[in-house]
Structure 1
Amino acid sequence: MTDIQKSYVLHIAIIAALAASFFVLPDYHVGVLARVMVLAVYAIGYNMLFGYTGLLSLGHALFFSAGMYGFALAVNHGGLPTGLALLLGALAAFLTSLIIGFLALRTKEVAFMIVTLMFAQAGYLTVLYFGAVTRGDEGFVLSTAQRTLAGIDLSGEATRFWAALILFSLCLLGTAALVKSRLGRAMIAVRENEERARMLGYDTHRLKLIAILVSGTLSGIGGAAYALLFGYVGATFATVQYSIFPLLWVLLGGAGTTIGPLIGVLFMFYLIDLSSSVTDAYMLIAGLALVLLCLFAPQGLVGEIRRRGLKWLP
């Protein structure tokens, strides 16, 4: 069996394990997994930019919230059907990525990181400024009717889990195929050595713009799905905190690995959940665990396993 075949078998096995968990885990953990899978879509989007192209962004909350508000405002104020509103959410994230990509790619390295952070903060302040429409920090809750797609009520635990699994599976397999394609290989070449990639004839600026478009759109789809499945939209999702989260998830799971984002979100979610049940200072425990992990597994959980022997891990 080739490495590519092993990779796809692993992806299918992970999807099958998630599906099987619905039948064996308690309701609480099923609900947690649904949330983890949606946030993993967001992390997958971030990983395409940071993990595979080498661009460190601190502004991905802008794309996540663009998809979220694009969808939520369309159904809440525009009265549009859920399916069309989801497309508008993805389109809002795509257009935001296009604009930010053209502007931010005029900079490099630390300047790129700072510029993306500034744009994200501007997006957060915009949400607050138009509080009459967005409801600002208070946010708003979507009704059951607004969370129905093709006649299926997605506010229930079971339907929400399966919808999250379908979305996650499509994004996981899609990105797995992308990184193995010529485009994905070219993006990795930019990450490894941009100057050499340029000397070989690659249009590195175009490749980085494509990476931002793919990354931002996937992140926006994650935001729209979060609003649809969990029914709440608020300015919290546009804060810097939600730009830091995907970076932590990807670093923990393994940057530049297809399954790393899921592992990172799962690890972080349960780390905080378990430590909060022990002490009120749960962030201290979580922070200590993160520091130790970064010291002894600097390539992330999946990256470290791949480095230590399983070279075929995607």
Structure 2
Amino acid sequence: MISRSLALHGGLIALLCVLQFVLPAYHHGNLARIMVLATYAGAYNIMFGYTGLLSLGHALFFAAGMYGMGLAMQHGGLSPAPAMAVGLLAGLAVSAVLGVLALRTAGVAFMIVTLMFAQAGYLAILYFGNWTRGDEGFVIQQAERALAGIDLSDPTNRYFAALVLFALGMGLTLRLVRSRFGRVLVAIRENEERTRMLGYDVFAHKLGAVILSGTLSAVAGAAYGLLFGYVGATFGAVQYSIFPLLWVLLGGAGTVIGPFLGTLFMFYLIDLSSGITSAYMLVAGVALVLLTLFAPQGLAGEIRARLWRWLP
């Protein structure tokens, strides 16, 4: 089972690597963007898919990483490598604080608290417009987007950087699934009270899941800002808390490959339908309803249920 799983996910990485050489420029850029967003969706999946914590505030973590990196470069004069570290630490700090406070609640209350924190973060971005440039955001100049001498504004370098990020994120999730910590998270999702009765520290494990998910989301946000050269308040708005939930539901919650499939499907569904009608989100909503009705476990979840039961 482990060898099959490694072959499948390794094959996906190899396929994405090969596609770099054959895709036209438009889809080449799209796929780089999808890989970064799929890393964000995979981070969300750690909380929602494996731990059962439904968050409506993940944009706070994504934006924390993006603005931590962007402001460190814009106002601190840091180079990309330490600026990325600042973004990671910002996500770590924000997720730790939110986790300690939000995990005092459960269920619907947890959803509302995470949403409130995310909205507070979004309003803070707008309020401190002198630093963040508010709704307008700011551009990271092409000359500044070089990491270890590699120009990340170059499409090929940007694609491979996104691929490395995606591979590391997926590898981390695979490792989590196989670990004792990951199995306890799944036990919490299935039956929290029984897990507590077995002697596990449920709060500590849930807090660990929030911090891990939030930090990986921040890394994805920092990478998105650096690779595509823009930091804006849109990425802290409520839609960027809803998007990862949709991507995970479509792809399959609690599966390693699901977030990528869901992000790929939704990205191109919106991209294609927006060329036909201005009501493209209605098309996306109909697709989501249909998938919920006929594939309630998501794309990868249905594959696991019907074909490959070993799929992690």
The offset of 1:42, in angstroms, is 0.5
Aligned to 2:120: 122
Which of 171, 194, 197 is residue 195 of structure 2 equivalent to?
Answer: 197
TM-score, normalization by structure 2: 0.99
Aligned to 1:284: 282
Aligned-partner Cα distance in 1 for 2:19–2:204: 41
Structure 2 counterparts to residues 1-314 of structure 1, below 5 A: 3-314=1-312
1:216-244 per-position Cα deviation (integer Å, ceiling 9, x unaligned): 00000000000000000111100011000
Amino acid at match of 1:163: A
Amino acid at match of 2:291: L
Aligned-partner Cα distance in 1 for 2:29–2:306: 34
Aligned-partner Cα distance in 2 for 1:145–1:202: 50
Aligned-partner Cα distance in 2 for 1:192–1:8: 26
Aligned-partner Cα distance in 2 for 1:158–1:309: 36
1:144-189 per-position Cα deviation (integer Å, ceiling 9, x unaligned): 2321101111011111000000111011111101111111101111
Aligned-partner Cα distance in 1 for 2:175–2:6: 9
Q: List alignment gaps of at least 5 residues for structure 2.
A: none
Q: List alignment gaps of at least 5 residues for structure 1.
A: none
Q: Is the 8 A contact 1:58 1:244 kept in 2?
A: yes
Aligned-partner Cα distance in 1 for 2:57–2:137: 21
Q: Is the 8 A contact 1:44 1:258 kept in 2?
A: yes
Q: Is the 8 A contact 1:252 1:264 kept in 2?
A: yes
Amino acid at match of 1:178: L
Aligned-partner Cα distance in 1 for 2:206–2:196: 12
The offset of 1:280, in angstroms, is 2.7
Tell me the number of residue pairs that the alignment of Structure 1 and Structure 2 aligns: 312
Amino acid at match of 2:293: L
State the 4+ residue runs in structure 1 displaced beyond 3 angstroms.
none
Q: Is the 8 A contact 1:59 1:117 kept in 2?
A: yes
Aligned-partner Cα distance in 2 for 1:85–1:11: 30
Q: Greater shift after overlay, 216-225 or 17-26? A: 17-26
The offset of 1:129, in angstroms, is 0.4
